[in-house]
Structure 1
Amino acid sequence: MSAARPDTRNRDEIADAYKWDFSAIYPSWEEWESDMKLLEGYITEYAALKGTLANGADALAKANELGDEIGRLQYKLYRYPQLQRDVDTRNTEVSGKFQRVMALFAKLGTATSWYTPELLEIPAETALGWVESEPRLAPYRFPIAEAYRQASHVLDESGEKIMSFASQFNGTPRSIYQELSTSDVEFPTVTLSDGKEIKVSYGGYSEILNTSRIQADRAAAFQGHYETYAANKNTYAAIYNGILQRDWFTAQARDYPTTLAAALDGDNVPESVYRTLVETVREGTGPVQRYMKVRQQMLELDTYHLYDGSLPLLEDDRTYDYDAMKATVLESVAPLGKDYHAKMANLLDGRWLDVYENDGKRSGAYSAGVYGVGPYMLMNYNDTLDAVFTFAHELGHSMHTVLSYETQPFATASYTIFVAEVASTTNERFLLELLLSRTDDPRERFLLLQHAIDSIFGTFYTQVLFADYEWQAHQLVESGKPVTPDSLSEIYAGLLDAYYGDAVEKDELYRFTWTRIPHFFNSPYYVYKYATCFASSAKLFKDMTTGTKDEQAEARGRYLTLLRSGGNDQPMEQLRKAGVDLDRRETIQAVVEQMTELVGRLETEAAKISAQK
């Protein structure tokens, strides 16, 4: 089926082929309701196991196996309303069902809070000995070992019970942010220089910045979009303060010295990795500023603004039809082998993707797994080159999920965020190389080269800037300083100066960028992983595409093993096995050097194109 992007924002008018099919999770709400009752029974059953773990290997296995049954059920019960809510956040009935799930999960958390404290009362030698002697415990070897590693940060039973009572409350700031930014947001309509009116929603704003050659149009879109956030700066600051205070409370309650230490401990990532990343990138912003100046010169702008940063440097009226690009993206992963290629083809043939923007649909893109069912992938595809690479990016996540689910038992099927972006950015790189190989047109090659630079800028530099911001913002509450719109905006303005210097004009509204970054509100200390994953994927891609055929095949095998590993080991160890060591500053510095080299190539190609005029 091939058709142009729908000329409608009405979801009912978009063909089913481009929308999710939820029936793979549940045929109807009746089955969902039935499983809600089943989970309530499991909660009672699990609570009854309290006090039994010390009875031996069989008791420990029974608790973990029941925990798996609960976990598999949780995936389905959560995703069924969550996915439907995300495609229409205005549907209060679905939102109500989602709240019921979260309330039941809070009850579950309280009923299961005894497990880890009780496990840790058993000597580690004894429990790990049971794991070695009882085959039923084999799938739980790593999670049980991890519990003992983090034992010093686990509270006693009463403490864990108290912490569990806060689980639903902890998600409240995130929910408020989403309602304010999606359900209740009213973006204005701006009039462009050609008289066309366009609503500067997330998709409309992005489209103008990516396609309009008129700086005044981009400025108008920026003004309308950002003023919507700035108008609510006090509310956003109050929400974010709630998140910062929550994180600091949790860190102190679990005896961590900082929120950063608490956030990194789950993956056993040293704080030095985070600090080295931020420091290395701050010192390596030269090529970014150089690129900004190249852009200003080529776009023939008197002043250069951040809203000028998404526009291709050359005129290009091509659009990228979703159906046509499915085949291209699929072809790009052929180097990963027939099995990987076939599994991706199966994904693309089913209704696992929700493709186009519609009224009420949440912004952005993601891939969300449902264990035992498959990955659901959300997009807001708008026919731009950026949308094509986002498509490839999210498919990388989906394939990571497919390979992990089919290889790992439930207990270790969920891979950590720390390795998640490796698969997505590697897929983007394979797509870039395929598109470059298909054309001898210097203008098209220039556009693709520009995209490679923009990928480093967006996935690496920008994410480290965000990580730097989160680190500084959390230090406000750690040191007892006030969290206000001004204090948060001062941090962000300082980072704009540090990263961009005099290469861009400092528009006042950009100080409020922190209000519109969902990751800050949804998943603190997440974004740095984009950068570490980008550095990792660059190393892995190089290993898979250079050297002898045998060396490339060996590297490909290590990479696919990483994708099949799920969460069966600490993520930095998984990356070491695949060939990446993030303890080394050189791993991060290599991306800075790659950016420098690409900007140099861009300047060379620009000179060639100029000479042809």
Structure 2
Amino acid sequence: MLKNRDEITQQYKWNLNDVYPNWTAWENDLTTLKGYMSEIPKYQGKISQNSNIFIEFVNLEEKISRLLDKVYLYPYLQRDLDSTNETASVKLQEVEGIYANYSIASSWITPEILTIPKETMISWINDNPVLEANRFPLMEIYRLQEHVLSADKEKLLSYFGQYLGVPSDIYSELSTSDIKWNEIELTDGSKTFVTNGVYSKIISTDRNQEDRKKAFEALYNSFNVNKNTYASIYKSILQRDFSTAQSRNYKSSLEKALNPNNIPLDVYTSLIESTRENTAPLKRYIALRKKALDLKSYHYYDNSINIVDYNKEFTYEEAKDTVLESVKPLGTDYYRDLNTALSEGWLDVYETPNKRSGAYSLNIYDVHPYMLLNYNGTMDSVFTLAHELGHTMHSMLSTKNQPYSISSYTIFVAEVASTFNERLLLDNMLKNTNDSKEKIALIEQAIGGIVGTYYIQTLFADYEYQAHQIVENGGAITSDVLNNIMSNLFTEYFGNDLTMDELQKIIWARIPHFYNSPYYVYQYATSFASSANLYNRITNPEYSLDEREQAKKAYLTLLKSGGNDHPMNQLKKAGVDLSKKDAFDAVAIEFNRLLDLLEEELKKEKGDI
């Protein structure tokens, strides 16, 4: 049952006073920010004159960026805690409006930087150590020069900046603020409204398939009732993506999404190809689960329930201790910093009315990371805590070791630390249990990570690719078209043992990443593959102790590197080359290994199945 925020003690809630003590302090910084922003146009036509003026300008830009992080995220975080918070919504829109105007007023910057010859810029950096922190981002401007327009065209495009975010805003309101949750009665006679969090708990703990079906139908009908509106929103996002890609001389939305981080297009297509070629273990797993659960028909809502009756609940305090213990192999410094990350005020733990669903870790360079959870006591929630703490550690280590200008790591490597932490947790929990049911549940948790983080995210990436191509080839987008793509993909990836429910096809309407950050989800899969390879190099006894120690140092160096290089290069330095297809094929090999272990444990517990 959902608690109201005032029923939860402060130790389990964010302390946003670390950002601002009140709205008055926020208003003061907003005024300061406006003042800084008003200085930027004064530099137009001057930054190419000499290095001293350019350095002044760069320092001012950084002041604006760092202050904007705080001023924007303070209302943003408050709104995530309560989507009906009118004050936070108004303030957030105010900042967005100010930034939109600033984008227009500063649209000349990149074109003017490009009037400075690259050789001159390099000499300025070499002669002025204060510019060294900006070497990589400045050189990126020159690499991407063909996609920068003239100053007048950049200004014209900047007028549309705020408008381009409207489809995502509409989706957020429809799927969070205005969504109507449906009530169900479970077989034990209890009644509940099926929110995202409630749904997650029912399908992962309720062993009655009819209850899981009711929860599934209740949740998906909350989205299906507005399917045509969701399809219309998504169509506008697809059209926006292609229009902005073309306006910047890209051939496709995918190229525009990948090129800023210098990711080759064939990394995306190789991921999909490799996964499609390696669906056999996924189909094997579904067939095994169907038989072990003794189900006449197997549905997607049966995918989260443990094969064995294992519904152990973990208090949040138990989860914290378990996760903390699991990271000891990464050394005392990592352990100490993760303990700091568990400080009161950094995490907002429990689901409350109108709180954003899911989980995330968000960093404020001059404050600290904030983690949002919707903790419900399941094993999955324990792993989610480990996952988000991985992101937080990545942010903390990057902030400690990199200047602001290159402290933010790319999305492409963002899921490496999070999935690495999950693997540490798994191994630690397996080592510390003699309960065969718990071992089976843990192996399934690991397999669930492969299915959910690798296969499902690649399926979603496949979906995005197909949907974008339809628009880019002049095709129509409707709810039926999107349903059809999803239906075909689930059949191709999961096989015929999965019964495809009509409502399951609407899953595209409830994946926020499709609407908020297109072409994001494939990076879960690439990061998972990278993490799996790194974990093997660090823990596999087939490697010598010295090799494993060097691999650990390389991994921690990756976490400390922020955005100081292209992500493919960062991963190569750590020992993973995603340009080679076998980096992805390795996931299927690990999947089959875990399936063999699962079958062995099931024989001990259940006999032949």
Q: Give the TM-score, by structure 1 length.
A: 0.98
Partner of residue 573 from structure 1, selected from 566, 569, 574: 569
Partner of residue 219 from structure 1, selected from 210, 213, 219: 213
Letter in 1 for 2:44: K
Cα separation, 2, equivalents of 1:385 and 1:112: 48
Residue in 1 that maps onto 2:582: 586
Which string of whole-angstrom CA distances, capped at 9 and with x for unpartnered residues, describes residues 387-427 of structure 1? 00000000000111111111111100111000110010000
Which string of whole-angstrom CA distances, capped at 9 and with x for unpartnered residues, describes residues 469-506 of structure 1? 00011111101111111111111111112111201111
Cα separation, 1, equivalents of 2:173 and 2:124: 47
Partner of residue 492 from structure 1, selected from 481, 486, 491: 486
Residue in 1 that maps onto 2:430: 436
Q: How many residues align?
A: 607
Residue in 2 that maps onto 1:552: 548
Residue in 2 that maps onto 1:271: 265
Give the percent of matched residue pairs that are identical in Structure 1 and Structure 2.
Answer: 48
| 1:535 correspondence with 2:529 | yes
| 1:118 correspondence with 2:93 | no
Q: What is the CA distance between 1:75 and its match in structure 2?
A: 0.7
Q: What is the CA distance between 1:317 and its match in structure 2?
A: 3.2
Letter in 2 for 1:114: W
Q: Which moved more, 1:592-601 or 1:470-479?
A: 592-601
| 1:136 correspondence with 2:130 | yes
Q: What is the CA distance between 1:136 and its match in structure 2?
A: 1.3
5+ residue gaps, structure 1, are 1-6
| 1:66 correspondence with 2:60 | yes
Partner of residue 597 from structure 1, selected from 587, 593, 599: 593
Asked if the contact 1:117/1:156 (under 8 Å) is kept, the reply is yes
Letter in 1 for 2:374: N
Cα separation, 2, equivalents of 1:176 and 1:91: 16
Letter in 2 for 1:52: K
Cα separation, 2, equivalents of 1:250 and 1:425: 32
Q: Which moved more, 1:498-507 or 1:387-396?
A: 498-507
Asked if the contact 2:491/2:498 (under 8 Å) is kept, the reply is no
Where do residues 249-288 of structure 1 align in structure 2 (5 Å cutoff)? Answer: 249-288=243-282
Asked if the contact 2:310/2:437 (under 8 Å) is kept, the reply is no
Asked if the contact 2:2/2:353 (under 8 Å) is kept, the reply is no
Which string of whole-angstrom CA distances, capped at 9 and with x for unpartnered residues, describes residues 219-264 of structure 1? 1111111111111011001110111111001100001011100000
Q: What is the CA distance between 1:349 and its match in structure 2?
A: 2.3
Q: What is the CA distance between 1:162 and its match in structure 2?
A: 1.6
Asked if the contact 2:311/2:378 (under 8 Å) is kept, the reply is no
Partner of residue 602 from structure 2, selected from 593, 601, 606: 606
Partner of residue 174 from structure 1, selected from 164, 168, 179: 168
| 1:381 correspondence with 2:375 | yes
Cα separation, 2, equivalents of 1:398 and 1:166: 33
Letter in 2 for 1:397: H
Where do residues 295-374 of structure 1 align in structure 2 (5 Å cutoff)? Answer: 295-374=289-368
Which string of whole-angstrom CA distances, capped at 9 and with x for unpartnered residues, describes residues 302-353 of structure 1? 1100100000110123101101111110111111111111111112123100
422 and 99 in structure 1: CA distance in 2 versus 1, 3 angstrom threshold: same
Cα separation, 1, equivalents of 2:160 and 2:491: 39
Residue in 2 that maps onto 1:246: 240
Cα separation, 1, equivalents of 2:156 and 2:259: 21
Letter in 1 for 2:446: A
Q: Secondary structure at the match of 1:316?
A: coil
Cα separation, 1, equivalents of 2:489 and 2:441: 28
Cα separation, 1, equivalents of 2:290 and 2:43: 66
Letter in 1 for 2:554: R
Cα separation, 2, equivalents of 1:41 and 1:400: 33
Residue in 2 that maps onto 1:9: 3
Asked if the contact 2:136/2:565 (under 8 Å) is kept, the reply is yes
Q: Secondary structure at the match of 2:486?
A: helix
Which string of whole-angstrom CA distances, capped at 9 and with x for unpartnered residues, describes residues 89-141 of structure 1? 01122111111111111112112211110011111111112111111110100
Which string of whole-angstrom CA distances, capped at 9 and with x for unpartnered residues, describes residues 257-300 of structure 1? 11100000111000000000001101111111110111111111
Residue in 2 that maps onto 1:85: 79
Residue in 2 that maps onto 1:203: 197
598 and 152 in structure 1: CA distance in 2 versus 1, 3 angstrom threshold: same
Residue in 2 that maps onto 1:97: 91
Residue in 1 that maps onto 2:38: 44
Cα separation, 2, equivalents of 1:465 and 1:39: 42
Cα separation, 1, equivalents of 2:158 and 2:29: 22
Q: Give the TM-score, by structure 2 length.
A: 0.98
Partner of residue 439 from structure 2, selected from 445, 466, 474: 445
Residue in 1 that maps onto 2:155: 161
Residue in 1 that maps onto 2:408: 414
Letter in 2 for 1:587: A
Q: What is the CA distance between 1:8 and its match in structure 2?
A: 4.2
Residue in 2 that maps onto 1:564: 560
Q: What is the CA distance between 1:365 and its match in structure 2?
A: 0.2
Q: What is the CA distance between 1:199 and its match in structure 2?
A: 1.1
Letter in 2 for 1:600: D
Q: Which moved more, 1:124-133 or 1:556-565?
A: 124-133
Cα separation, 1, equivalents of 2:129 and 2:214: 64
Residue in 2 that maps onto 1:3: none
Q: Secondary structure at the match of 1:155?
A: coil
Cα separation, 1, equivalents of 2:15 and 2:105: 33
Cα separation, 1, equivalents of 2:53 and 2:536: 48
| 1:400 correspondence with 2:400 | no
Letter in 1 for 2:147: H
Q: Secondary structure at the match of 1:440?
A: coil
Letter in 2 for 1:502: N
Letter in 2 for 1:358: T
Cα separation, 1, equivalents of 2:68 and 2:317: 34
Residue in 1 that maps onto 2:501: 507
C-alpha root-mean-square deviation of aligned residues, in Å? 1.1
5+ residue gaps, structure 2, are none
Which 4+ stretches in 1 moved above 6 angstroms?
A: none
Cα separation, 2, equivalents of 1:335 and 1:56: 50
Q: What is the CA distance between 1:611 and its match in structure 2?
A: 3.2
Cα separation, 1, equivalents of 2:479 and 2:311: 40
Letter in 2 for 1:590: A
Cα separation, 2, equivalents of 1:49 and 1:513: 49
Partner of residue 101 from structure 2, selected from 101, 107, 110: 107
